[in-house]
Amino acid sequence: MTDPIFIERLPAAGDEWIDRDQRLCFSFEGRCHRAYAGDTVSSALWGNGVRLLGRSFKYHRPRGVYSMCGHDANVMLEDGETPNIRGDTTLVEDGMELTAVNTVGSLRHDLAGLNDRMSGFLPVGFYYKAFHTPSWMFPNWERMIRGIAGLGKVNPAAEWKPSPKGYDACDVLIVGGGPSGMAAALAAGRAGGRVVLVEDTRCLGGSLCYAGATAPESAATVNSMRDELEKLENVEVRLNTSVRGCYSENWLAFIGPGGLTKMRATAVVVATGAYEQPAVFRHNDLPGVMLGTAAQRLVHLYRVKPMQRALVLVGNDYGYGVALDLKAAGVEIAAVADFRETIGKGELVHDVKTAGIEILAGQGVYEARPAGGLVGIKGARVCPVNSAGTGLSTSATNVNCDGIVMATGWAPAGDLIGQAGGRLDYVPEAAQFRPGELPPGMFAAGRVNGVFGVDARLEDGEHAGGQAAAFAAGKEVPARRRPADEITAPSYPYPIIKHPKGKAFVDFDEDVQVKDIVNAVKEGYDSVELVKRYATVGMGPSQGKISNLNSSRVLATATGQAVGAVGYTTFRPFTRPTTIGELAGRRFHPDRRTPIHSRHQAAGAVFMHAGAWLRPEYYGPLVRHQAIVREVQAVRRRAGVIDVGTLGKIDVCGADAAEFLERMYTGRFSDLKLGKCRYALMCDESGVVADDGMSARLGDDRFYVTTTSSGSAAIVREMKRWAIIWGLEVTIIDHTGQFGALNLAGPESRRILGRLTDLDIGADSFEYLGFRQAVVAGVNCRLMRVGFVGELGYELHVPAQHAAVLWDAVVEAGQPEEIMPFGVEAQRLLRMEKGHQIIGQDTDALTTPLEAGLAWAVKMAKPFFIGQRSLKIIAPRPNVRSLAGFVMHDSTVMPAECHLVVDGDEICGRVTSIARSPTLGQVIGMAYMRPDQTIPGTVIDICVEGRLVQAEVVKLPFYDPSNERQKS
Amino acid sequence: MPHRLLRFGLSKKYNEPRMFRSPEQLKKSYDVVIIGAGGHGLATAYYLARDHGITNVAVLERAYIGGGGTGRNTAIVRANYLTPEGVAFYDESVRLFQDLSADFDLNLFYSQRGHFTLAHSDASLRTMRWRAEVNKHLGVDSELVDTAFIKEKCPHIDLSCGGHAPVMGALFHPPGAIARHDAVAWGYGRGADQRGVEIHQQTEVTGILVEGDKVTGVQTNRGTVETSKVVCAVAGYTPPLLEMVGIKTPLVIQPLQACVSEPLKPWLDTIIVSASLHLYVSQSSRGELVTGASLDPYPIHSTRSTLDFVEGLSGHLLDLFPFLGDVKIMRQWAGLSDVTPDFSPIMGLSPVEGFYLDAGWGTWGFKATPVCGKTMSYTVAENKPHPLIEPFRLSRFKEFELVGEKGAASVGH
Amino acid sequence: MKIMTCPVNGPRPLQEFVYGGDLTEMPCPDQATDEQWAAYVFERDGAPGLHKEWWYHAPSGVWFIAERDTGTDEICRTYLYND
Ligand SMILES: Cc1cc2nc3c(=O)[nH]c(=O)nc-3n(C[C@H](O)[C@H](O)[C@H](O)COP(=O)(O)OP(=O)(O)OC[C@H]3O[C@@H](n4cnc5c(N)ncnc54)[C@H](O)[C@@H]3O)c2cc1C
């Protein structure tokens, strides 16, 4: 293997971010590179002289370092595991093997680079204008387009890693650890209360970490503030943590070393600084053209010399500082081109002049001159400009350089303000947006607030910190005020120079050029939102952070409006793309298990999900069908036991308990005798079947009600609400989780139960639909004699902690009869043989009791029940469909549930339940059909896989129509 | 390179005509005023002009073309509904969609990807079969499929669902498609504009003039216009407009959220929906995963995103695609959904003469855009409901004749 | 995430609550016409503005009324039904 590439850095400086004692190795596009710990991939590569770091999305143009702070969406890497790794902010780790995303061949020899030459044929929105005719060709084109779209590759074999999540709360949250944020933290911290300061990068200081000549005293300032902050115990500083979104009521999401933190802050100070904005000219995207702050970051943080000879293009005084920094780093400064006709008189300008650097006032860059293969530049053509952004090519002069460094202005990092519902207003004097009205509890300070001088930022931060602390403490909040700022216009209003040949990029993620926006406007897409959608400005991974402002400027010019009138597109989370893994956290999947769960496991149950519950579907080891038949036969012939602990179990008590049930349910309950239970059907207000269960009378003023498993929470809730509305003296106690329950059923069940209790359970003393409270197997138990499965049977309800004991006792006591546990499937079959409906299976979201064959349970003569008034409207009309039973004489073709009952073209209904009945030896089912078809003997057509099969309608139930067995 | 693009490279000038004009002023009167320049409003205008020769039409839009649900939705188009009424209606829309790019001469990227609605329980398997059976009966390509089939079409899916509630089968709907939603509005807008319809953006309707029981005009922030026919096609903004004419409906407005990932190389060819996981996802032709969940739990008329939504959604995405942990979500957003109790729309005539309703689009209205245009234009021109929308009349509620689409419309969109 | 104040349990994250629809008054079933009854069952006041709504604090089972602006999602007041 070849030696790793490494070029030594600039001499060490005290505040650099690299650790020269730790050397790392990594590979990029198959070449080995050396780096220092603390390097990002981009800093290491650029330091090693690599200029081609990635390719653009659409034209596959070479791209290099641009912002060095997370907006370099074209330096996107992958390692086979993770797609879309940002080179500019991702730290090098030893052994990394990286390649650039989205190249055809390799980064250097990217065949898709041809797109750039074809760019004339691929104008804005080109894909709307072609490929659709002839239409049969479109799928082919589409396949091709899908193939070339997209950036990184996912690895379908990648394993999921849980990621932690945490909650936190504070009085004042400060976002951004630059000078204004630190000042705010100090002010808020001194006022007391819990203050949290989050900083995206690895240390406090913000822009002062790399400010160089632009803020010479910065190291001292940062150090002393950091020391101060450390003394405040109520201030917590979180580094490497970035706020990703601000949601309603100051609920913020950040990602840091501990994963996702969800923070509730009473007050928030947004001190997020500003995004430096590029100038726009032909070839402003090529490697070597970069933002001033990117050059400063390379120089000060990573000690990388960004280029050999630079043209510094400025629109503010800050850029002069950048020029000085570069010069100090050994970069030859070809010239400073200043967009402004009248250049500033500040110290930095003075120093540049003193240093003998040539200043070209009123000049911008007409174009960069590409080096071979567009990988880098070899010079710039500089020309005088006017404010409309037309450069005069005729008077352009050549400047030789391998880098163009742009310091022409800023956009506030106002994402969180926008997300929180605040506004940014365009301030023409400053040529940029500034926070306007802020939402309650949110304050802004520093550069995001349009304040640029260091002293002013400190003052602004201190004031905002004080405001936030006052707000958090519920005190009067001092008025907003702007500190005097020595820097008045940090942004140049129109750093954009058109070029007849184009390739002047506004958006790098999406390769949107000035002319694309102009052409979009010509086509009628003349508002920011329409331009965004048509030209895809700001739609890429950097979400417009270094393109939206220029886009608004171009749009304003093209439509003859002011930038303020054009405005900006909505700020949406996330401020920075956030991984699905971090957002998902640990992915909890709570399952509800009944207290008897372990017994089912031991008995070889196969479980199924029933809503939130896990229930035995059937018991192995037989295959499904055989197991179910065996369980059914056990119940019919001997005895079986099923866990019904998932049912809703509710005590309804109070003087008005009976009246309450009269109103909640369709049946009668005031006449229900003590020691009796009854079927209970519930409708919603529109008369649709909502739930069912049993209701037992425990006392004059006490009932015990069961509900369906899935309905229980909602039924308890609705009961509580109606109790309040009706003002009845009734209390609803939800025992669903507190009680376990089982159903012992089958001809031998009396004998088995008798072994476990002293209660007189003789056929006459504990009759069908009787209810008792007694000790069974040493446990206090509520017993209901019910017949859901159509046999003699007892439902036993006990406190959850005794449920397993009871189960064991029943199973034990049933040994002589070979009792068998049965699951949900056997129960479904058994109840169907008996013609009992399951709410939700044999009914749907619009079924009335009249259609479902439940009219017998509806007492329309009562004064009132929920749904009654609606049923009075519906009842006089003929039903559209009715539920009825059917049998199949020829069961070679077996319909499935939800196969349709049809009559010619007409859909009459559907099969809701069907099974081969082991008891009856034939296929039986229930189905909705036209009411005239429900007459027994009618032959109906069921459509099965396109074939019509015949079934004969029969009277329900199929099994034991005289109810002898369940009543026995 | 399609020859269509040659003209751009070969011509020095950019000669593309405007898609839509921006008329300076509102006229004094129009034959028809359509409120809302979403897909539905623009489609109605388009077919009014094209099929019914009614061109003295204004579409009034308070913001910009397609800025409502039309530009916020996740663009799933399908016809595998549950009720015969719903299936017939949406199927007609799918048919219209298939020819729309050619109709407009604008590529809508209408892309038939196949649509899976996963079932994780036997209860949902039953509902899927019900839908499949109704669909097939009405000639819609729709089938209940087993897990092997799902795996074949979507090889990267984890059918065990991380061990929790495994996938048991799915409803597969081959015609299920996605499209460039904005372009649908633009195409209808251009077509209407070319036929004389005026589209007025930044024009908010602030009042509706009614005399007796008849509409006579609308008030806007740019003045009043006379008209005897008003189509209300404002989806999530319907209730305040109905207040202006005193019509009561069951509509409730709830936000629906969605989000989009960074672009990835294509790996997901189909549209995957899971109602139990409250999740649906597709991959756009740009390579982004476009994904969303069910409605927000309570009414708000605001399009602010929530963190809950994207946390929950992320977890569920990993249930089906556990390898996406390192994929990044770029942005999230919300739109307003006008939800009805039966998950079917409310369309047609209203108690106020000349006031036509096109509402109740909830989470499912994008796919209906073409058929709404067709049927609403007919309804307005003839002043009687088009047969396809008869079942969706407002009066069905007081008649207790709901069209129950809950089982097919909620998360499935 | 929003905070809602349960009149019994105090401020709690919104996730603990279940929305229960607008507070409406049931017309007398015997006196209401079919149409009035259908209106009660189906019609909603869907426009943005201050609504009186039912909310349920699920962990404790408390129903209460919240006065909430559905336009801004601002909760102005919460109180028990009988207050
Ligand atoms: C996140 C999300 C995902 C969705 N996914 C899907 C999907 O996959 N498939 C699907 O079929 N549907 C989906 N939908 C639903 C779909 O987006 C809508 O139902 C559909 O876009 C409605 O279209 P429309 O033209 O009726 O209304 P809109 O597009 O909302 O247009 C209404 C217009 O009316 C304007 N307006 C409002 N008030 C006034 C006034 N007073 N004066 C003038 N103009 C006014 C608005 O500004 C808006 O532009 C989704 C919705 C959302 C929010």
Map out the domains of chain B as residue ranges: 25-72+182-249+342-409, 112-175+252-339
Report the 10 Å Cβ neighbour count for A367. Answer: 23
* Helix boundaries (H) for A638-781: 657-664, 712-726, 749-754
Question: What φ, ψ does residue A365 adopt, rounded to 5°?
Answer: -95, 125
Taking alpha carbons only, the member of A489, A374, A473, A485 closest to residue A429 is: A489
What are the residues whose beta carbons fall under 8 Å from the beta carbon of A620, sequence distance 6 or more? A604, A605, A606, A627
For C14, other C-beta atoms within 10 Å of its C-beta total: 20
Name which of A128, A530, A907 is nearest B65 (Cβ-Cβ): A530
Average pLDDT over residues A114-123: 85
The Å distance, Cα A292 to ligand 1 centre, comes to 43
A104 contact B CB<8A: no
Ligand 1 close to Cβ of residue B75 (< 6 A) = yes
Residue A839 has pLDDT above 80, yes or no: yes
**Dihedral, CA of residue A628, residue A634, residue A637 and residue A638, to nearest 10:** -160
CB of B38 shorter than 6 A to ligand 1: yes
A-contacting residues in B 224-283 (Cβ below 8 Å):
261-267
| pLDDT, position A264 | 96
C-beta atoms surrounding A399 within 10 Å: 21
- Residues with Cβ within 8 Å of A433's Cβ and at least 6 positions away in sequence, in order, are A411, A412, A414, A424, A425, A426, A427, A549, A568
Q: Which of B242, B295, B298 to mutate to test the interface with C (most CBs of C within 10 A)?
A: B298
Using an 8 Å Cβ cutoff, are B364 and B273 in contact?
A: no
Whether B25-72+182-249+342-409 and B112-175+252-339 share one fold: the answer is: no
Q: What's the pLDDT score for residue A933?
A: 98
Q: Chain B within 8 Å of C19 (Cβ-Cβ)?
A: yes
* Integer angstrom CA distances of residue A667 from A54, A658, A720, A874, A928: 73, 11, 19, 18, 24
- Asked if residues B111 and B117 have their Cβ atoms less than 8 Å apart, the reply is no
Q: How far is the centre of ligand 1, averaged over its atoms, from the C-alpha of B255 (Å)?
A: 11
* Residue A179, H or E segment: helix A179-190
Contacts of A140 (CB under 8 A, 6+ apart): none
Ligand 1 atom closest to the CA of B366, numbered from 1: 11
Cβ-count burial of A351 within 10 angstroms (0-12 exposed, 13-18 middle, 19+ buried)? middle
For residue B204, the ligand 1 atom closest to its alpha carbon is: 42
CB contact A612 to C (< 8 Å):
no
Q: Which of A84, A580, A685, A872 to mutate to test binding with chain B, by most B CBs within 10 Å of its CB?
A: A580
Residue A606: Cβ-neighbour burial (10 angstroms; 0-12, 13-18, 19+): middle
pLDDT, residue B10, reads 75
List the CATH number of the domain containing C69.
Answer: 3.30.2270.10
Instruction: Label residue A355 by pLDDT band (50, 70, 90).
Output: very high
Task: Please name which of B306, B315, B339, B320 lies closest in space to residue B411, comparing C-alpha atoms.
Answer: B339
Q: Does B156 touch chain A (CB under 8 A)?
A: yes
Contact A146/B at CB under 8 A: yes
pLDDT value of position A385: 87
Tokens of A601: 């496991």
Average pLDDT in chain A = 95
Kindly report, residue by residue over A449-483, the tens digit of the pLDDT.
999 999 999 999 999 999 999 999 999 999 999 99
Residues near B59 by Cβ (< 8 Å), separated by ≥ 6?
Answer: B34, B36, B37, B41, B42, B45, B189, B192, B197, B198, B199, B200
Residues A870-887 have a mean pLDDT of: 96
Residue A251 touches chain C, beta carbons under 8 Å: yes
Taking the CA of residue B252 and the nearest CA in chain A, the distance in Å comes to 17
What is the H or E stretch that residue A577 is in?
none
Among residues A453, A522, A544, A583, the alpha carbon closest in space to that of A71 is found at: A544
The verdict on a CB contact (< 8 Å) between B133 and A262 is no
Total tally of structural domains belonging to chain C: 1
Calculate ∠ Cα B131-B136-B139, nearest 5°.
130
More confident position, B270 or A387: B270
pLDDT at position B55 over 60: yes
178-207 of B, contacting A, C-beta below 8 A:
180, 182-183, 186, 201
* Sign of CA pseudo-dihedral B296, B298, B304, B305: negative
Specify whether the CB–CB gap between B371 and B388 falls below 8 A.
Answer: yes
What average pLDDT does the segment C45-72 reach?
A: 97
Q: What mean pLDDT comes out for the span B45-66?
A: 98
- The identity of residue A174, as a single letter, is I
Q: What integer pLDDT is reported at residue B8 of this predicted model? A: 79
Superfamily the domain B25-72+182-249+342-409 falls into: FAD/NAD(P)-binding domain (3.50.50.60)
pLDDT beyond 80 at B9: no
* Model confidence at C1: pLDDT above 90: no
Residue type, B54: I
SS3 of residue A213 by DSSP: helix
Q: Indicate whether A2 pLDDT > 80.
A: no
**B364 CA distance to ligand 1 centroid (A)?**
10
Cβ within 8 Å, pair A248-C2? yes
In order of start, what are the domains of chain A with their CATH numbers? Answer: 19-132 (3.10.20.440), 165-275+412-472 (3.50.50.60), 278-408 (3.50.50.60), 494-587 (1.10.10.1100), 641-816 (3.30.1360.120), 878-968 (2.40.30.110)
- Asked if C48's CB is within 8 angstroms of B301's CB, the reply is yes
Write out the DSSP string of chain C.
--EEEETTTEEEEGGGEEEEEE---PPPTTTS-HHHHHHHHH-B--SSSEEEEEEEETTTTEEEEEEEETTTTEEEEEE-TT-
* Residue in A474, A477, A446 with CA at minimum distance from that of residue A461: A446
Nearest to B312 by CA among A846, A260, A718: A260
Looking at residue A392, its pLDDT comes to 67
DSSP β-ladder status, B32-35 and B230-232: parallel
Query: How far apart are alpha carbons A821 and A752 in whole angstroms?
Result: 14
Position in ligand 1 atom list of the atom nearest CA B63: 47
Beta strand pairing call for B328-339 and B289-292: unpaired
- Residues in chain C with CB shorter than 8 Å from the CB of A251 are 1-2
Q: Tell me whether C38 touches chain B (CB under 8 Å).
A: yes
Residue A770 and residue A764 in contact, taking contact as beta carbons nearer than 8 Å: no
Tell me what the mean pLDDT of segment A874-881 comes to: 94
Whether the CB of A716 is below 8 Å from some CB of chain C: the reply is yes
Longest dimension (CA), chain B: 65
Q: How confident is the model at residue A427 (pLDDT cuts 50, 70, 90)?
A: very high
Which domain does C52 fall in, by range?
3-26+33-79
Query: Considering CB atoms only, which of B22, B64, B328 is closest to A529?
Result: B64
Q: How far is the CA of B365 from the centre of ligand 1 (A)?
A: 7
Per-residue confidence band for A390, with pLDDT thresholds at 50, 70 and 90: low
If you average pLDDT over residues A125-149, what whole number do you get? Answer: 89
Going by C-beta distance under 8 Å and a sequence separation of 6 or more, which residues neighbour residue A815?
Answer: none
Q: Which of A250, A724, A738 to probe by mutation at the C interface, max C CB count within 10 Å?
A: A724
Give the chain A residue nearest B182 (alpha carbons): A533
Burial (Cβ within 10 Å: 0-12, 13-18, ≥19) of residue C67: middle
Contact state of B137 with A943 under an 8 Å Cβ cutoff: yes
Give C-chain residues touching A734 at CB under 8 angstroms. Answer: 61
Best CA proximity match to B112, nearest among B275, B282, B280: B282
**Whose C-alpha lies nearest to ligand 1, atom 35?**
B36
0.90 surpassed by pTM: yes
CATH superfamily of B112-175+252-339: D-Amino Acid Oxidase, subunit A, domain 2 (3.30.9.10)
Q: What is the pLDDT of residues A588-647, one digit of tens each?
A: 888 999 999 999 999 999 999 888 899 999 999 999 999 999 999 999 999 999 999 999
pLDDT at position A1 over 80: no
The answer on pLDDT for A500 being more than 70 is yes
The reply to whether residue B252 touches residue C48, judged by beta carbons under 8 angstroms, is: no
Q: Report yes or no: A738 at the C interface, CB cutoff 8 Å.
A: no
Complex prediction ipTM? 0.98
Which of helix, strand or coil describes residue B223?
strand
Q: Which amino acid is at B132?
A: A
The residue behind tokens 């370092």 is A65
Find, among A736, A708, A690, A642, the residue nearest to A857 by Cα: A690
Compute the radius of gyration of chain A from its Cα atoms.
38
Distance B41 CA to ligand 1 centre (A): 10
Q: Could you tell me what percent of chain A has a pLDDT over 90?
A: 89
Helices B84-104 & B181-194 angle (0-180, nearest 10): 70
B245 touches ligand 1 (CB under 6 Å):
no
Tell me the shortest Cα–Cα distance from B297 to chain C, in angstroms. 7
Residue A875 has which token pair? 């009842």
Instruction: Name chain A contacts of B317, Cβ cutoff 8 Å.
Output: 580, 584
Q: What separation in angstroms does the CA of B361 have from each of A111, A224, B127, B364? A: 46, 59, 22, 6
Which residues of chain A does B325 touch, with a Cβ-Cβ cutoff of 8 Å?
Answer: 158, 160-161, 163, 579-581, 584
Strands (E), A761-819: 771-776, 779-785, 793-799
At B214, list the tokens: 């008849």
Whether A439 has its CB under 8 Å from any CB of chain B: the answer is no
Specify the pairing of strand B57-60 against strand B198-200: parallel
Mean predicted confidence (pLDDT) in A290-301: 98
Helix axes B181-194, A528-535, angle to 10 degrees: 110
| pLDDT surpassing 90 at residue A124 | no
CA–CA distances in Å: residue A414 to residues A154, A421, A531: 32, 11, 21
Residue A242 has pLDDT above 90, yes or no: yes
Search chain A and give the residue with CA nearest C38: A870
Choose the closest CB to A151 out of B99, B164, B287.
B287
Determine contact, residues A939/A873, Cβ cutoff 8 Å. no
